[in-house]
Amino acid sequence: MAGIPTIGYGHRLLPHESFPNGIFELQAALLLAGDARDAEQAVQRLAKVALSQGQFDALVDFCFNLGAGRLSSSTLLKALNCGRFEAAAEQLLSWDLAGGEVNSGLKARREGEFQLWGGAGVHHEGAA
């Protein structure tokens, strides 16, 4: 992510963390498990409507990548909690910028989340 120091499988380094010699595979896996758990708990806390497994998984990935703070203040969450599931899915696709520019990696990630969300059941302008 743009300018945010990470280690392992995308673990955001916290101010008190330091890994001057890098980390081993097991450490990376443990950090990933903790980050995934935190993202799951954030989605469970923030979503006020019942979610399909795909919707839950897409939101967990979103939180893992962008943080619960971004989800909590998003139009995506507002639409979701009003029961506007298609509008929420569309909102996923708007989170593809880094430094004000469309980032191909983020675009691909958001498209993947969109597919997890509903796949063929949700349509958007870029869909085939």
Q: What is the pLDDT of residues 86-122, one digit of tens each?
A: 999 999 999 999 889 999 999 999 999 999 998 655 5
Domain annotation covers residue 126? no
Confidence at 1, pLDDT banded by 50, 70, 90:
very low
Q: Which residues contact 1 (CB under 8 A, 6 or more apart)?
A: 10, 12, 65, 98
Q: What is the pLDDT of residues 9-47, one digit of tens each?
A: 999 999 999 999 999 999 999 999 999 999 999 999 999
Domain annotation covers residue 68? yes
Domain annotation covers residue 101? yes
Confidence at 128, pLDDT banded by 50, 70, 90:
very low
Domain annotation covers residue 104? yes
And the tokens for 125?
């302008």
If one counts the domains in the chain, the total is 1
Q: What is the CATH number of the domain that holds 90?
A: 1.10.530.40
Q: What is the pLDDT of residues 59-94, one digit of tens each?
A: 999 999 999 999 999 999 999 999 999 999 999 999
Residue 122 is predicted with a pLDDT of: 53
Domain annotation covers residue 48? yes
Rounded to an integer, what distance in angstroms lies between the CA atom of residue 35 and that of residue 63? 9
| Alpha-helical regions (H) of 1-128 | 25-46, 53-66, 68-72, 75-81, 85-92, 104-118
Domain annotation covers residue 62? yes
32 CA to centre of own chain? 14
